[in-house]
Structure 1
Amino acid sequence: MPPDACSSPPSEMLLSPPRFPILMLDEAKLTPALGYLFHRKWLDPYESLVSILWKFEKANGLSGSVVAHLMGPDVDPYEGLVPELGAVDIDRLHGALGLPKTTLRDALLAPTERRRFCATFRHCRRCIAHGYHSVVHQVDTVYRCPAHHDMLESACRKCGYGAPYRVNVQLLETPYRCSQCRESYGGHGWRPTEARPMRAGYCRALARKYVGCALGL
């Protein structure tokens, strides 16, 4: 018997090049070749590095491990590090986030003999509800939020856990929540589609306190 005829597949079934770019990951830098999504307008004055990275992580759907490596190629993501000047690779963060280096420096702790910082994550519930945490909240001598005048909190209201102020996977993967019991620190978290600028009066209050702390006042 003659062999069965073999017809060619319809032209629309033939493989064709994709009409969109394929996102390639540069494993050496842990950054996508086409860049990350991040807008400066999402940030408020003197926002901490923790707060910045939470927003960056949520906007791009990244894991805490990938985000932790943006602070330095040799950072152990599970041990993490204290976000202070000299410990974080500002050039690397600048390249990934596209933020000014001055903004990134202002987001880091800068301990001196006259200015000390709390080793436990401290927050204002109303700031957290806005998707904001300031480096000012970590200053040891600041007990109330400069913007809202509420007492700063360092323990989870549900389980009492006080998270160490270290940027690691545990902290990064529980944005705006207790890393032990997942209870909210205030509000329902932050989303890029709901981002709103902070009130001008709050910004001025935080700026005054930041400058005062920098001068040791």
Structure 2
Amino acid sequence: MGSQPRFQSLQGGLVGCLRWMHPLEGAYTRTAKIALVNALDSRALGELLYGSRLLPNSFGPVHGRSFLYGAWAASRAQGGTGQSALPGFLSSLCGGWATVIASDARLRFCQSCADVGYQSALFQIDALSRCPLHGERLRDTCPHCDAPTPRYALTVEGFQSPMQCTACGGGYASAWDGTACFERWGGPLDVRPLQRLARRLQAWESLAVQWPTVSSWIDTPSPDAAGRQRVHVFQALGMLSGLAVLDHGQDSRVSQVKSSCVPCQRPPPRQRERVAIYKSIRRHIMRRLGLAGRGNRFTFSEVFYRQRVNEAVVPRRSSCPAPLHALVIWISRCEARPPAPLLQGLWPLAPDADEPRVRLRTPLLLWPIDVQVSDNVWGHFVWRSFLEDLWTARQWQAAVRPLGEPFDQADREAPEVKANRATFLELLTAWTPRLSPLMETFSSGLSHFTWEEGRGQRQLCLVWTRRFEGAWHDESGTAGPE
């Protein structure tokens, strides 16, 4: 009898057993075990265990009954086992960072862990692609039919038959067959690798970080942009706290981030000095492009197309040099009133003495708005902005080159031409924010945050996605015009 679970009485006539709960086990499987033992459907489970009704729909990036963030359940959890589920929420380790480093779009699990009735909320962290305990790739599909798993939240779909596929009905592992498998809920023998990761997250919770642009930091327009963003945030926080990123299990397909940290300064920005820095960087770029001579002119309307609504700049020919495309985007993003010939069609790129008076856009001139930084740091941000626009231009060129010139074909009704034209418009829809100075004042590939260090000393960290751009590549983050 000593080896049998010792059941405990819960509020509402429920029973449970804390022996089924294991260190760093997620709230999903903790709740699933209570549901199976008490034969509760999802609606009764929400009301009896958490005192909350289920949501019929939740289309936000974080579900209203998510097991990542426990604010909705913390004040209402019923009884001993209800309270014991709260440590399974990821927010119990890292607070609000839970929803910007992890996703509840799908339940993610390790097959070997699930075989012993275990799943951790740490598995929902996007930067973690393999189980730290077994080295197995984390799954978010059914092992039987490959159907997607339900949301990592208290939902009707997920808890109609907990840890069983909503498509084929098969259990996600041997410990989950729709019954209370007490003898199989033994949990993993060693969770120390997860405990090391948990200590890192707890260190992040105490960081006095202000990161207002975290939600707009997107390295590339793609369906998985949100997941890549969460990986980048995880990496940036790891650098900030002085802790290495994951020892293993990180997806090699996701590019890493780079950063530079500088103390914030009180002196207000000096417009004349910053305009001079900007013009110096612009001359440097023009020389690299071979456009600095007085005689180098081109007709803007013959080379580029500017959308009327959002002013996105797109080359009319796929053969347009990507650096020239990037330069036009960058100048349009930086200057409040670009040289009149740029808008009229003819753009002279002359020596500095003959250049029109430059006026910078106010958001750029005052970047960052919340704190003051040195002109050197500001210039570094402006240079990195061009590198981001250069990367965008190259990605655009690579994407549209195979399409030929779908809008300049003699036979516009040919099936292949129509298909290429449709593909071009789809690409334009995805990339327009990166090509438009109105939609993105600054490139979304750049971000920054501030935090308190030591005795109230405030630091700024400029973070960006690591790019490889050949001769333009800035490996150290400090190369480029001074």
What is the TM-score of this pair, normalised by structure 2? Answer: 0.34
SS at match of 1:181: coil
Using the TM superposition, name which of 35-44 and 67-76 deviates more: 67-76
Matches within 5 A, 1:55-134: 55-69=33-47, 70-76=49-55, 81-93=65-77, 95-96=78-79, 98-99=80-81, 101=83, 103-110=84-91, 111-112=96-97, 116-118=101-103, 119-134=105-120
CA contact (8 A) 2:123 2:131 kept: yes
CA contact (8 A) 1:78 1:168 kept: no
Taking the aligned partners of 1:61 and 1:114, their CA distance within structure 2 comes to: 31
Q: 1:196 to 1:188 in 2, by over 3 A?
A: closer
- Residues 39-60 of structure 1 deviation map (CA, whole Å, 9 limit, x = unaligned): 1111111111111111001111
CA contact (8 A) 1:68 1:169 kept: no
Matches within 5 A, 1:172-211: 172-189=159-176, 191=180, 193-195=182-184, 197-201=186-190, 203-211=191-199
Quote the offset at 1:143 in angstroms.
1.0
- Residues 12-46 of structure 1 deviation map (CA, whole Å, 9 limit, x = unaligned): xxxxxxxxxxxxxxxxxxx53xx321111111111
Quote the offset at 1:128 in angstroms.
1.0
CA contact (8 A) 1:146 1:209 kept: no
Structure 1: state its 5+ residue gaps. 1-30
Using the TM superposition, name which of 163-172 and 111-120 deviates more: 111-120
Letter aligned with residue 117 of structure 2? G
How much is the aligned-residue C-alpha RMSD, in angstroms?
Answer: 2.7
Quote the offset at 1:161 in angstroms.
2.0
Taking the aligned partners of 2:33 and 2:68, their CA distance within structure 1 comes to: 19
* Residue 167 (structure 1) aligned with residue 171 (structure 2): no
Matches within 5 A, 1:34-45: 35-45=13-23
- Residues 122-178 of structure 1 deviation map (CA, whole Å, 9 limit, x = unaligned): 000111111111111111111111211111011223143242222112101222221
The structure, 1 or 2, with the larger RCO (C-alpha pairs under 8 Å, 6+ apart) is 1
Q: 1:112 to 1:57 in 2, by over 3 A?
A: same
Higher strand proportion, which one? 2
SS at match of 2:113: helix
Percent sequence identity is 23
Taking the aligned partners of 1:83 and 1:100, their CA distance within structure 2 comes to: 13
In structure 1, what is the equivalent of residue 473 of structure 2? none
In structure 2, what is the equivalent of residue 10 of structure 1? none
- Residues 55-74 of structure 1 deviation map (CA, whole Å, 9 limit, x = unaligned): 00111121221112233334
- Residues 49-101 of structure 1 deviation map (CA, whole Å, 9 limit, x = unaligned): 111111001111212211122333343367662123354222322x23x0485
Find the structure with the greater CA-based Rg.
2
Quote the offset at 1:199 in angstroms.
4.3
SS at match of 2:76: helix
Taking the aligned partners of 2:98 and 2:52, their CA distance within structure 1 comes to: 30
In structure 1, what is the equivalent of residue 294 of structure 2? none
| Structure 1 segments (4+ residues) deviating >6 Å | none
Structure 2: state its 5+ residue gaps. 1-10, 59-63, 204-236, 239-482
Higher helix proportion, which one? 2
